[in-house]
Amino acid sequence: MRHLTITLLFVLFSCALYRAVPDEQAHFDIDSAGYQELAETFYHTNTFVNQRVPERAPVQPVGYPFFMAIVYKTVGVKVWALIFVQVMLLWLSIVLLLHVSSLLFSEAVTRVVAYLAVFNVGFLVYPQFILAETVQLFFIMLFMYLFVSFYQSKYWYYLCSSAAILGLSTIIKPTALCSPILIIPIVVYVLWRGANGVNAVAGAVLFIISFYTPVLLYMLRNYDVYGYFNFAPMMPLNMYQCLLAKVMSRVEGLPVQDIVDTQLRFSATNTFDAAGWDHAKKLFYDYLWQYPTTFVVVWVQNVTKTVFGLFSTQLKVLIEPLVRGGDCSFFLQEGSFLERINAYIVSGSTHWWVCLVSYVEALWSVVRWVLVITGFGFLCAEKKYGLVCIFVLCIMQFSVVTGMDGCCRYRIIFEPILIMICAYALVQWYYLIKRICAK
């Protein structure tokens, strides 16, 4: 009955939001045009290679455009069909989240998780965009379900399959490329208890093999097609045209795009060719040596955008025709701190209900972080230190890596963890207040 209620609510909200979108172009954000071009290229030619410039590899991994192309091959190049499939994928992610919650927490917590998930603005908004977040979230949730199942049962099938799924997620977006550094100690800890060191080492090796097999196969594919055994050209692009450009903008007082166009342009033909970044690389180390504090400030600001940004800003991009990605940043507003917060919440909104959603989400964001902190306190009080470490490490990893270019949509990957902790804290507060009132 709970799943039916949640399904009906999620479908109802998603349909209402889709009907509120002004036109098809509203489903396109900053990165969407590149994804659409790649998907249409594969749709027509069965390859992602640009026939006009065959040596120019896509900047990002092609997992998401491949997913789009599968949908387009099935029904034709129809944006509405892609949105429909993504809404269904997000619903499946919520179902997986409920299963994970039921493995880790009580039935009461899982019920709260269900409603927090279905009313989550990000879960409703991102399936409406041609962006990779929805598909990546599905892979991450599938990984979480399998890994938690391993955590509970110690079955190696769950260990290997979870690692393979996490490895496949990097071909959608490479956010989890460094995850084994944090996960392998957990694997060793789980297998060492009640077993022996040999099993723990074998489990760690199996996790590494299972995780990096899809990564290495994708790199082999790039070597075969482009002549470079490399994963994707996006890392240097993020370092130079995102992070360094923002640092230089602060130092020189020039617009970021002007700096990218005049000083940080890629100068080679093949996007895998590191020589194309030689000038930008030299500037990077020069500025890092002279302005290390500025780098830290920019990195912290980007992480702050990811951790504390409102999903409602993406709702404005979807609903408001004149709003584009990045227009509603808190750091672009002027005035006192409270004035900037208010401007951040309402800027770009012409619909009363968008303003209402933004204000409610802003209020919930404050309450949510209080619940997260107290939730960790409750977990520590129950001596669930292993779970606390896993959650904290995941949140830290997926937030810190966005320091090159922060955005609230990058939080969608660890939003399920925040939802579970909030639900757990709410239930614990309810029981605590109930006990106090009963005395």
**Torsion 118-96-178-192 (CA) sign:** positive
Distance CA 213, CA 141 (A): 20
Distance separating alpha carbons of residues 255 and 276, to the nearest angstrom: 22
| Distance in angstroms (rounded) separating the CA atoms of residues 310 and 320 | 16
Burial of 262 (0-12, 13-18, 19+ CB in 10 A): exposed
Residue 94's alpha-carbon distances to 17, 38, 55, 140, in angstroms, are 18, 28, 40, 12
Residue 161: its pLDDT value, please?
95
3-state secondary structure 42-57: HHHHCCCCCCCCCCCC
Which whole-number Å values give the CA distances from 36 to 31, 174, 438, in the listed order? 9, 19, 59
Token couple for 245: 């450009």
The encoded tokens of residue 434 equal 């109930």
The CA–CA distances, whole Å, from 18 to 12, 85, 127 equal 10, 13, 10
**Which backbone phi and psi does 204 adopt, to 5 degrees?**
-65, -40
Sequence letter at residue 49: V
The DSSP output letter for 329 is: -
Handedness of CA 8, 9, 10, 16 (dihedral sign): positive
Two tokens, residue 78: 């129809």
DSSP secondary structure, 148-206, as one string: HHHHHH--HHHHHHHHHHHHHHHHH-GGGTTHHHHHHHHHHHHHHTTS-HHHHHHHHHH
- Quickly list H helices, 227-274: 234-237, 245-252, 256-263
CA distance 29 to 319: 12
The reported pTM is 0.93
371 half-sphere exposure, CB direction, 13 A CA radius: 21
Distance of alpha carbon 375 from its chain centroid, rounded?
22
Which among 325, 359, 349, 402 has a CA at the least distance from the CA of 129? 325
pLDDT tens-digit profile, the chain (439 residues): 567 888 899 999 999 999 999 889 999 988 899 899 999 999 999 999 887 877 788 888 999 999 999 999 999 999 999 999 999 999 999 999 999 999 999 999 999 999 999 999 999 999 999 999 999 999 999 999 999 999 888 888 999 999 999 999 999 999 888 888 888 888 888 887 655 667 788 888 999 999 999 999 999 999 998 888 888 888 888 888 888 889 998 888 888 888 888 888 888 888 888 888 888 889 999 999 999 999 999 999 999 999 998 999 999 989 988 777 666 777 777 777 787 888 888 887 888 899 999 999 999 999 999 999 999 999 999 988 888 888 988 898 889 888 888 888 899 999 999 999 999 999 999 998 888 887 6
Of 305, 237, 323, nearest to 272 by C-alpha is 237
The answer to whether the CB of 61 falls within 8 A of the CB of 174 is yes
Hey, what are 218's tokens?
A: 């994708």
Which pLDDT value is given to residue 168? 96
Helices of type H across 21-155: 32-45, 63-75, 79-104, 107-118, 121-125, 133-153
Phi, psi torsion values for 295, nearest 5 degrees: -60, -45
CB-side exposure of 201: number of CA atoms within 13 Å?
Answer: 3
